[in-house]
A and B are shown apart, each in its own frame.
Chain A
């Protein structure tokens, strides 16, 4: 079993649909992330949760709604998306550290991603 699992791996949805992406981490980490990867663009951080609390929202449109019920699970609820939202959505986790100078343990591990196509 991989450390970070995502479902579904592929999703095609219409612009009026509502769907959700699910992520589960089995690494005992306390931080979870959603990233978006579009063609020929750098990875874009969308949301960060640390101990279930949202700590980052990088100006993501409200049609993307995250949910983190516990430190092991993360969801991304999708509604009324646009074709330009088609991308690879990556979930990740880390054993985050917030103490200054304490860099060990903040490596991000990615899930296999969910390919989203909006038609």
Chain B
């Protein structure tokens, strides 16, 4: 079992709809969770991080964490074509950033 699993996609969502990206992780002791966006040919950029169970909202983005189910998701409201990218889920198993494990990413495509 992979430590951090994501559906590779592509996930196709119409413009203006909600895009839902999911991630599961294997280490129950994981402490912090990150979502990165990576455009083709570019480096990953941080969108959000979340530490506590529940929802965390930042503009059109909402991260959701359920530690009991070992599940973290990212919702993108009012999807725009500029949201088309690969989204990487990352999980920190300890308080040291060197223990951050990345998923392989979900490719999101927003169709006009």
Chain A residues with CB under 8 Å of chain B are: 31, 33, 40-43, 45, 48, 50, 55-56, 88, 90, 94, 96-103, 106-113
What 0/1 readout, one digit per residue, does chain B (84-110) give for beta carbons within 8 Å of chain A?
000010101011111010111100000
Which residues of A lie under 8 Å from residue B43 when comparing CB positions?
Answer: 88, 90, 110-113
A107 touches B98 (CB 8 A): no
Q: What is the bound-complex CA distance between A42 and B86, given in angstroms?
A: 12
Q: What is the bound-complex CA distance between A109 and B36, given in angstroms?
A: 10
Chain A nearest CB, measured from B24 CB (Å): 14
A96 touches B42 (CB 8 A): no
Compute the total of residue contacts between A and B using a CB distance below 8 Å. Answer: 68
B88 touches A107 (CB 8 A): no
Chain A nearest CB, measured from B52 CB (Å): 10
Chain B residues with CB under 8 Å of chain A are: 4, 31-32, 34, 36, 42-46, 49, 51, 88, 90, 92, 94-98, 100, 102-105
Whether A48 touches B88, Cβ cut-off 8 Å, given contacts A42-B104, A110-B44, A111-B43, is: no
Q: What is the bound-complex CA distance between A48 and B97, given in angstroms?
A: 9
A96 touches B34 (CB 8 A): no
B46 touches A106 (CB 8 A): no
Which residues of B lie under 8 Å from residue A100 when comparing CB positions?
Answer: 94-95
Closest to A110 in B: B43
Which residues of A lie under 8 Å from residue B44 when comparing CB positions?
Answer: 43, 90, 110
A55 touches B45 (CB 8 A): no
